[in-house]
Amino acid sequence: MRAEEFPPEAGLPDWAPESTLLELRMGSFAYGVDTETSDRDLLAVCVPPPLPWSDFLPGFDPPLRPFETFQWHGSPGVDWTVYGIGHYVRLCLENNPNLLESLYAPADCVLRAKPVGRALREARSLFPHRGLIDRYLGAAATNLRSAIGRPDGSVDRRRAYHAVRLVDIAEAFVRTGEVDLRYRADRWRAIRAGEWPREKVQAEAENGIALVRELAPGSPLPVRPRSEPVRNLLLGLTG
């Protein structure tokens, strides 16, 4: 799949295109549930230039802030999110679901990968830990409440899909320490198509949450983040 070029009208810093080390298509495509009308959700990771500390005058110059993230909602159906590598790696280590999953995105999601970007993905096993359980199940519970709590009794299909998918991905991580982001795509597509009634959505999500909690003590995931190995990885990639 061909890499997308940053649109000039996006207002991205001039240095970003050349310093981009990883570009991925995420969203519904990464989970195998996209359709012809699906948006293109693009995620890029770049190496920002060093801050000009040698010219900085404390108390006179505005505070220096490192580049962390940039978002652009541009042409219809295309959304960009660009992360500085340090911010991206920290959020992955915190097991932010969207960013942790980007390390596990299928090969056809990779639009561009320089050696540093490939090395980062190859080291993905350093990132997941049991902290993801609360992150995933909390997000799943929030989506479930929105999915089934509508006054008219109908199901919000998008929220229902997110609730069940988050539980399914958490289960895979807890069981095996890794995940195939499309391993239950068929059932996720069925939810998005409105084929699951309210009762089934609720039962599958709630039973899945309970199962993940039950499996957690025997999970191969480490209890705490592997901060030092990840920090050493980042130093090695950017030093």
* Residue 60: per-residue pLDDT: 55
Same domain, 192 and 76: no
pLDDT string in tens for the chain (239-residue length): 556 666 665 666 777 778 899 999 999 999 999 998 888 999 999 888 765 445 554 555 556 567 778 888 766 688 889 998 989 999 999 999 999 999 999 999 999 999 999 999 999 999 999 999 999 999 999 999 999 999 998 999 999 999 999 999 999 999 999 999 999 999 999 999 999 999 999 999 999 999 999 999 999 999 999 999 999 998 888 76
Looking from the CA of 66 toward its CB, the CA atoms found within 13 Å total 12
Same domain, 54 and 170: no
* Residue 195: per-residue pLDDT: 97
Same domain, 72 and 183: no
Look up the pTM and report it: 0.89
Same domain, 14 and 121: yes
Same domain, 121 and 196: no
Integer Cα distance of 67 and 47 in angstroms: 9
Length of the chain: 239
Instruction: Quote the strand ranges of the chain, DSSP E.
Output: 20-26, 40-46, 69-73, 78-84, 110-113
Same domain, 116 and 39: yes
* Residue 41: per-residue pLDDT: 93
Residue 187 near residue 31, CB atoms below 8 Å: no
Same domain, 162 and 230: no
* Residue 223: per-residue pLDDT: 97
Q: Which domain holds residue 136?
A: 131-218
